[in-house]
Chain A
């Protein structure tokens, strides 16, 4: 899989009770892109993510990872390429210690013991959690759990990182650390979140899901500037791109803004 393309073609899915969750979703994400999938609660974000690593099989259409479509036969390959970080780290950290947990994936891939050791240490170091290796998961803080959960996936050397709500429930400092971490990765990144300010800092492209379908797909700046579109999809522009709270001056808008940019210069002067 030389070109790590992630593509969905006319992807449709309904839950067993008949509720349609995805309706003809199509997009193509290229190598190294950082893409946010946003949408209201129940718009189909999580369902879409579960298709990307073949956990759910589409009712119609297909998902393509690299050069091949995801089928029952290449699931192992797909899951090694697409690393999935879940919203609740407690679901992802199930082994007795952090070390064992990060080693879980590489061991399942059948790697040699010294190679496992090396990838575990590297993965933990890259998220700044090397000192947590021997701790049991229940003794970690929320931010630590999140970073370790990311390490469990990094240890398998995925080309594509898929993350569900990475900043949910983190304190501002942990959130800031995580944003730094996400910016530093050069994997293809697919992130769902309601934290649109984080999205504004980490992603260049946004896919807006609305009631199971793709409502918009384009550069972040364009999407977040379209207030009507966001309102229709039960969203709103990130704080950093909203008008100044003090005097109503429009924000300059754009990518990689600092948190407080939306307070305009004239307001700060007063």
Chain B
């Protein structure tokens, strides 16, 4: 399980090494657009379903332009959507008032809000994954720093990401060592487990000390000197303004309903 999620991280990083118009954008642009997207999607009221549909355009366009594997993201989103299902599953039971009628079938408000929750979580998770897959985690951290996030948090995030791999590998080696000597008997259960967690903490602590020594030896004095020099260009400006305008319009006007109304008036 841990294995898989670490592999996903590596996969996302590999994808971020690609080259496309979207990959080449300034990381700050992508962070801001993704943030705007998430805020727009989340700010709809709980029965919004149709009005959310046009927002699918953003992830679809990103995936198409950045040439990303749709299957990979679909699988990830499905996995995370299980959590959303768990959150929304009681809505249809609690909120049974009929909201929409299609022919003779009445759809209750609960089902609509349930659908809305699923759609929203899928949209926001996809957007976050796409941001990572087109930008790379460390570039996102840097962008956040340049957008005003305190340096301490940026550094924490970067170190967490760097040593996540080292830590999980260490934990895996310990787990394997226990496994191999426990002969399928659970390896003394919680007693051994708690000792392992303790050891892992101590080792991490010692490692942190050694890393600090290594940093000090190379002139670290509390501030991370930045070398990044990507610039904010015209393409970035257009990308940023274009999407944010679109998100605002889609948030203010219910596009599917407008289309529906237009068709109705035309046919009448």
Contacts and interface: CB of A to CB of B under 8 A. Distances in A.
Nearest to A103: B227
B227 A91 contact: no
- State the majority secondary structure of interface residues on B: helix
A195 interface: no
A137 B162 contact: yes
B161 A156 contact: no
B219 A94 contact: no
A108 B207 contact: no
A264 B213 CA distance: 46
- State the majority secondary structure of interface residues on A: helix
Contacts of B219: 76, 79-80, 105, 108-109, 156
B159 to A, nearest CB: 7
B211 interface: yes
Contacts of B216: 55, 79
- Chain A CB within 10 Å, residue with most, of B166, B226, B227: B227
A107 B223 CA distance: 11
B162 A96 contact: yes
A95 to B, nearest CB: 7
Contacts of A136: 13, 138, 162
Contacts of B218: 79, 104-105, 108, 152-153, 156
A261 interface: no
B46 interface: no
A88 B217 CA distance: 15
B134 to A, nearest CB: 16
A186 B136 CA distance: 39
B211 A94 contact: yes
Contact of B162 (A95, A103, A113, A134): A95
Contacts of B163: 94
Given A79-B216, A156-B219, A94 B162 contact: yes
A129 interface: no
13 contacts: A55-B217, A91-B207, A94-B162, A94-B211, A96-B137, A96-B158, A100-B138, A107-B225, A108-B225, A113-B229, A136-B162, A138-B10, A138-B162
The 9 closest A-B pairs by CB, nearest first: A96-B138, A108-B219, A107-B225, A105-B218, A91-B210, A138-B165, A84-B217, A92-B214, A103-B227
Given A90-B166, A152-B218, 16 more contacts: A55-B213, A55-B216, A55-B217, A84-B214, A94-B163, A96-B161, A104-B225, A107-B225, A107-B227, A108-B219, A108-B221, A113-B229, A136-B13, A137-B162, A138-B165, A156-B219
